[in-house]
Amino acid sequence: MMKKVVLLLLLLLVFQAHAKSGSMKLLAVSNGDTDPKGSIADLELEIKEGRGRIFIDSFPLSRLDTQISTRFAKEVACNFLEADCSRLDFFYTIRANSALIGGPSASAATTILTISVLGDIPLDKDTTITGTINTGGIIGPVGGIESKVDAASKTGLKKVLVPKFSQLNLSNISEYKEKYKIEIVEVSQLEDALQEMTGREFRTAAEISVSSYYIETM
């Protein structure tokens, strides 16, 4: 009996040793009765040995486009690291105060967190990003940037990465920096965002093929 207990404990330790996890802050916009307000969500990821499956646990509920963009972000991350993810399961957990989690604006952050956990690369916890992830590792534009910068500042974050291909101009960025007392950096490519988040230089992202279903849904 004692041998079985010891064996079970050893198996549990081996299983836990193969699990990887990480977390980061997400920037969101909550739709209230008046003007939209910026809010913070928590994104957690745990990777375990498995069969290439993706699980998304979100509260409040997430829309279909969020679920699809999360799956695409995982594919971009695996391709970026040239990693075989077919024998790994990905468990994403999102917790937010907004009434509904929707849109692909967190997909760049999801990609970066996945690369971080998968590649054992530490992230700067004082930095976050808002933006979509697109083919070729391009960081795409999103809305509500000022509201998100405001939320980041109030939460104590020090730096926000925003898409270079957005409606912001230099005067907007200077205004937001002064108003919210936070560093704002424009990024256009995944490797640029990774360098800001990790302090490391990365090669150019591999070309990612995008399914027609993803394009139509987004």
Contacts of 159 (CB under 8 A, 6+ apart): 124, 126, 127, 128, 182, 183, 184, 185, 196
Q: Which two tokens stand for residue 31?
A: 């739709």
Active-site residue (options: 98, 105, 147, 153)? 105
Closest CA to 83 of 57, 28, 41, 120: 120
For residue 163, cis peptide bond before it (omega within 30 degrees of 0): no
Active-site residue (options: 30, 62, 98, 148)? 148
Tell me whether residue 179 is one of the annotated catalytic residues.
Answer: no
Q: Which two tokens stand for residue 74?
A: 């995982």
Tell me whether residue 105 is one of the annotated catalytic residues.
Answer: yes
Q: Which residues are catalytic?
A: 105, 148
